[in-house]
Structure 1
Amino acid sequence: MVALTSRGRSRRIAALVLLGAVALLSASACGAGSSILDKDALVIGVKPDQPGLGMKKAEGEFAGFDVDVAAYIARKLGKDARFVAVPSSEREKVLMDGSIDLVVATYSITPERKTKVTFGGPYYVAHQDTLVRARESAVTGVRDLKGRKLCQVTGSNSWRRVKEERKVAVELVEAASYSECMSDLKAGKVDAVSTDDLILAGFATSDLKIVNAPFTDERYGVGIKAGDLDGCEAVNKAITEMYLDGTAKKLLRKWFGKSGLALTFTVPQFEGCG
């Protein structure tokens, strides 16, 4: 066995200290903030411009069904919540880069999105329908949109279910949000807006009407950073409690009870967090 010199021992000790520090930092990086359960407060992305679901009020606060659901989940997790606006086109990005912890913003669960983020829920199953001008009588279902101008919101998949899945030959007109779609519909720039019935219900007025011919199921999920399975399971538990204690029924009636939509008050079938 070769005896180490004083200088050699010093180098070896320094190397071991450095190795230990690196290991500690690596462990901290892997563990710190890896789950929403590790956080004291949650930053939650919601919509700022969807009546009944997520609206930013003049004083800066957010209100709507999605906001109330998100607040309930945060309370059940024992976390404070701060709400921020998130557009449809940014939902995956903000979860992947960690700037937002949860997204509760009419975020339909799809196979493609599940490759990028983890979904809790769904917390509600909506149905895609169509909104037209009140005087429109020729559109009674999605097939009647053939040859007409359909609003296409950046980051939303709703238009795909019309043009690609059902092969309806519509002319797409891009918009940044559904509130912009509604302005375009009223102005005659588009002939229809097709998306989830809860979204449409919030925008329906004396000038605009829902066709009431649903043709898909839209499973609203809670977006979570990919891989946070513990957080996902905790969110699912909170959603279950929300239905069992009557809160879901209360919130649905609060925001959509006068819409005429047939609301569902039973716990949705979860996707599973694995």
Structure 2
Amino acid sequence: MAALLLVTVTACGPSGGSDQKSLLHERVFIGGKTDQPGFNLHAAHTDRGLEVDLANYLGKEIGFKSKFHDVISAKREQELKDGTSDLVIATYSITPDRKEQVDFVGPYLVTGQGFLIREKYKGIKTEKDVAGKIICTVEGSTSAVAQLPRGTILHIEPDYSSCVDKLQGGAVQAVFTDEALLYGFVEQYKNSKHPLKVAPGITSGLINRYGIGLPKGHTADCKKLLRALRTYLTEEWAADVKVQLQALVHAYPGDWENRFRPDPEDLNRYSSCET
């Protein structure tokens, strides 16, 4: 009986590791932000964007079908801890604090941070101009804890589409988050009454590296995802970015790959496993 108990504890103990049941079963539930154009936008019963393309590629390589559901920034760790999501692919930046709670595979995109403004707005030309302005960002994001100029009035929303609605309505002067993400909204609103742009030449906050989040301890799954991601970055990443993030490519002709494609060495440096 003692020997049987020891075997049970070893297989199910907190160290987990490759003994844990695989997450990559026939249907994989993925927490995503389904209101982010360019990355994952759910419309007309269809998900479209770079993260959808990535999930479909991983599924093809590993052997699963992905099912996205919406998750807000502040709940991503909890989604993985309580099993609501098998994976999170949601412009999810890899940080030391987050890696204490969940594991990551990535990055699959690297980006600085910037400010989204109305195309005709002249009030923000340098980072110092942000002082005294109402700037919208999202709870649970790296942007919400970034150091902005003293006097900046931070307005917090649960998601970036709400921030962009506030910007369109004139309630805030800018939206602050990852530059790559902002260009998705530039593309979405290019023919609107109030077209948007990323304030040129202004960067602030962190360099963010987007990763695939998974619960702690699934080493075998981590390695499978990492191998597939390496192939994706070589074979299909550039073509998918050209299709899904057209405004970003247009903003940096000839240089967008250097700016936003991860260094291959970063995958071992930032992932929770190595291959």
TM-score (norm 1): 0.83
Task: Measure how far apart 1:273 and its partner are.
Answer: 1.7
Distance 1:181 1:146 in 2: 18
Aligned with 2:97: secondary structure? helix
Alignment of 1:255 with 2:240, yes or no, is no
Q: How does 1:125-140 map to 2 (within 5 A)?
A: 125-140=110-125
Q: Is the 8 A contact 2:36 2:161 kept in 1?
A: yes
Alignment of 1:272 with 2:235, yes or no, is no
Ranges in structure 2 where 5+ consecutive residues have no aligned partner: none
Distance 1:210 1:128, change over 3 A: same
Distance 2:48 2:72 in 1: 16
Over the matched positions of the two proteins, sequence identity in percent amounts to 30
2:29 to 34, 39, 43: 43
Distance 1:40 1:253, change over 3 A: same
Q: Is the 8 A contact 2:108 2:211 kept in 1?
A: yes
Distance 1:156 1:267, change over 3 A: closer
Aligned with 1:240: secondary structure? helix
Task: Measure how far apart 1:65 and its partner are.
Answer: 0.7
Partner of 1:56: 42
Q: What is the letter of the counterpart of residue 97 of structure 1? A: D
Distance 1:161 1:91 in 2: 19
Aligned with 1:42: secondary structure? strand
Distance 1:174 1:237 in 2: 37
Higher Rg of the two aligned structures: 1
Alignment of 1:227 with 2:209, yes or no, is no
Aligned with 1:90: secondary structure? helix
Q: Is the 8 A contact 2:112 2:208 kept in 1?
A: yes
Distance 1:173 1:267 in 2: 31
Partner of 2:167: 185
What is the number of equivalent residue pairs in this alignment? 251
Task: Measure how far apart 1:26 and its partner are.
Answer: 5.0
Distance 1:168 1:217 in 2: 21
Partner of 2:178: 196
TM-score (norm 2): 0.82
Aligned with 2:173: secondary structure? coil
Distance 1:142 1:189, change over 3 A: same
Alignment of 1:121 with 2:109, yes or no, is no
